[in-house]
Amino acid sequence: MLSIPSPDLGVAPGRLGVLRDIVAGLDSVVMGLSGGVDSSLLASVCRDVLGADRSLAVIARSPSLPSGELEAALDVAAAIGIETRVVDTDEVTDTRYAANPRNRCYFCRDELFGRLEAVAAELGFATVAYGEIADDAGDHRPGRAAALQHGVRAPLREAGLDKTAVRELARELDLPVWNKPAMACLASRIPYGDQVTEDKLQQVDRAERVLTDLGFRQVRVRHQGDAARIEVEPDDVAAVVEQADAVADGLRDAGFSHVTVDLDGYRQGSMNSSAGRRLLPLA
């Protein structure tokens, strides 16, 4: 299945020192931890530079969190040795978020950063931070507007670290998630303008578990009413087709009447339309 190539050593020479200097200047930090490579690298550096008493990782639990990701984030926090707190967020009950506009992520981040600010105020910590990287600056990132409004710091971006450099440093620091596939909240599988509901999120989660249980690592199941569009890495598309019966049966059990696989494979931000895509019906 998917194999992420090892990053080229030397991509980020000296960047770890830059990142450590930025974190040292934060004094004390409450940071959001998703368990992905970006936030895990930040957590590791915060714990190393600031120590256990001045660093805290906060994991947000909500219906939009894919199955297993809470446990995975707790595991990586334990491996790093950073103190951790789990908070429940209620973005799905926010009618602005549930309406699923193009800036949906703003309302999610606004909710999250408000919770992180409350924890920081409770503990007397100086700074709230999160794992935005340099690559994110040119992407559609409404959550960044929320970060700016809340005064949340992004040390990885400030250090000029892109995804390649982040993976390199994470591997050098022996973080177990250095090659973890990109992850996003379950709501990102629902086209903009279609209502986000807990039922839809659970349906997508069940469908994606079918594929991960079959051994696929990078998986998206795009929710299109009673139809599901599967995206996996391009090299894995043939394997999905080979297991078409098992995949189709599993996604029907998850609640989808029609199942297709995108022959062009996974790519970020493809939930809006199937126009121009090469889709193969599985059921």
Q: What is the pLDDT of residues 242-261, one digit of tens each?
A: 999 999 999 999 999 999 99
| pLDDT tens-place string over residues 37-94 | 999 999 999 999 999 999 999 999 999 999 999 999 999 999 999 999 999 999 999 9
Report the pLDDT value the prediction gives residue 4, as an integer from 0 to 100. Answer: 39
C-alpha to C-alpha distance for 206 and 197, rounded to whole angstroms: 14
3-state SS, residue 88:
strand
The candidate with the shortest Cα–Cα distance to 30, out of 49, 43, 14, 21, is: 43
Whole-number pLDDT of residue 272: 52
**What is the predicted pLDDT for the residue at 245?**
97
pLDDT-derived band of residue 268, with 50, 70 and 90 as boundaries?
A: confident
Q: Which domains does the chain have, with CATH numbers?
A: 15-173 (3.40.50.620), 197-271 (3.30.70)
| Whether residue 108 lies in the annotated active site | no
Cα 214 to its chain centre, rounded Å, is 21
Count CB atoms within 10 A of the CB of residue 52: 10
Mean predicted lDDT score pLDDT of the chain: 92
Integer CA distances (angstroms), 205 to 117, 253, 255, in order: 29, 12, 11
pLDDT on residue 276: 66
pLDDT tens for 128-163 read 999 999 987 655 578 899 999 999 999 999 999 999
Residue 263, pLDDT > 50, answer yes
Section 190-213 average pLDDT:
97
pLDDT value, residue 140:
58
Q: Examine the pLDDT at 164 and tell me if it is beyond 50.
A: yes
More confident residue, 177 or 275: 177
Question: Which of 46, 105, 108, 185 is labelled catalytic?
Answer: 185
Q: Which residues contact 17 (CB under 8 A, 6 or more apart)?
A: none
How wide is the angle at C-alpha 237 spanned by C-alphas 270 and 162, nearest 5°?
50
